[in-house]
């Protein structure tokens, strides 16, 4: 266990029993857990080393993470470990992340964030990028990457002091990627530790489209944030060119094929079109703000 690592767990409509199981596992590897509860109801976890921030509304993952990070660093944390409520950390995940951070800093890198190698906790399949797979860093178990998953990411205080918290206006989609890109724009390294494993699940599993390609099936409302936030991000100079191009191409393909290939197609199309409209109008925050 490390004395200066705090975990920030964002919870939304999670049961107390589920969260208790998660924070118990996390506490074996960190000093303190801050639970940021985005649910409309209050959660009470009577556990030493756990503090619950009950917002009584859904502030979005970005703002919840920002508040949790600020609380943790104000309380003395040197590192914050971001965690989703449905992620499962391996027994030595935090140790591997710290070892990676130490190795990288000893080699002279200015480390902004060390992420994990995540895998589908139901199928065991590793999450591998189709493109832009990253560059191996000699002498370490890490790859240099442009962006990585928020859950399981270790963020040092020095990086937080340089760039602040998450972009609260994005609310939920691409929050983790934007933070990585902002760190990179300030000269920080984003690394993925291949030895630090995290079980994770995105959306509702995968579906086949075009007869051969499997893609994740998110909740319909997530298309709104995906489309809207993509429009916001493609105009920002620190966002990688490869992502801007690929994201726009993906939007067109999703608009064409997702409503026909996924359940609740009409509802998905409605959210996509609203996301485009609100993105062009410069709208941020929650969809019903």
End of a domain among 146, 176, 200?
200
Q: Specify whether 249 is located in the same domain as 154.
A: no
With a cut of 80, say whether residue 78 has pLDDT above it: yes
Residue 287 falls inside a structural domain? no
What is the residue range of 69's domain? 5-200
Q: How far apart are CA 248 and CA 158, in angstroms?
A: 33
Same-domain status, 57 and 102: yes
Give the chain's domain count.
Answer: 2
In the chain, DSSP assigns E strands to: 5-11, 32-37, 50-54, 79-84, 88-89, 111-120, 135-136, 142-144, 154-156, 189-200, 206-209, 213-216
The per-residue pLDDT for 15 is 87
The answer on 148 and 92 residing in a single domain is yes
pTM of the predicted model as reported, rounded to 2 decimal places: 0.94
**Given this model, what pLDDT does residue 209 score?**
62
| One domain, residues 73 and 89 | yes
Same domain assignment for residues 131 and 257? no
Residues 166 and 43 in one domain: yes
210-226 residue pLDDT tens: 655 677 788 999 999 99
Q: Which residue among 145, 167, 200 closes a domain? A: 200
Q: Which pLDDT tens digit goes with each residue over 141-198?
A: 999 999 999 999 999 999 999 999 999 999 999 999 999 999 999 999 999 999 999 9
């Amino acid at each position: 266990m490390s004395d200066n690592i705090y975990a920030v767990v964002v919870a939304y409509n999670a049961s107390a029993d589920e969260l208790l199981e998660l924070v118990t596992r996390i506490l074996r590897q960190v000093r303190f857990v801050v639970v940021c509860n985005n649910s409309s109801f209050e959660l009470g976890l009577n556990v030493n080393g756990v503090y619950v921030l009950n917002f009584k509304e859904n502030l979005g993952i970005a703002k919840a993470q920002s508040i949790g990070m600020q609380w943790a660093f104000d309380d003395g944390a040197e590192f914050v470990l971001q965690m989703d409520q449905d992620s499962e950390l391996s027994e030595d995940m935090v140790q591997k992340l710290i070892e990676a951070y130490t190795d990288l800093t000893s080699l002279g890198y200015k480390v902004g964030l060390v992420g994990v190698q995540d895998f589908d906790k139901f199928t065991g399949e590793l999450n591998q990028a189709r493109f832009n797979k990253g560059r191996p860093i000699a002498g370490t178990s890490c790859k240099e990457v442009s962006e990585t998953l928020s859950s399981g990411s270790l963020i040092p205080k020095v990086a937080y002091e340089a760039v602040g918290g998450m972009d609260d206006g994005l609310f939920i989609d691409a929050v983790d990627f934007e933070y990585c890109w902002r760190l990179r724009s300030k000269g920080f390294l984003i690394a993925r530790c291949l030895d630090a494993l995290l079980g994770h699940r995105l959306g509702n599993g995968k579906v086949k489209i075009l007869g051969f390609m499997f893609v994740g099936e998110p909740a319909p409302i997530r298309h709104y944030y995906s489309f809207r936030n993509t429009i916001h991000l493609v105009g920002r100079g620190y966002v990688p060119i490869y992502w801007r191009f690929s994201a726009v191409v993906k939007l067109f393909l999703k608009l064409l094929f997702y409503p026909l290939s996924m359940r609740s197609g009409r509802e998905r199309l409605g959210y996509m079109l609203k996301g485009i409209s609100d993105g062009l109008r410069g709208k941020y925050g929650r969809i019903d703000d």
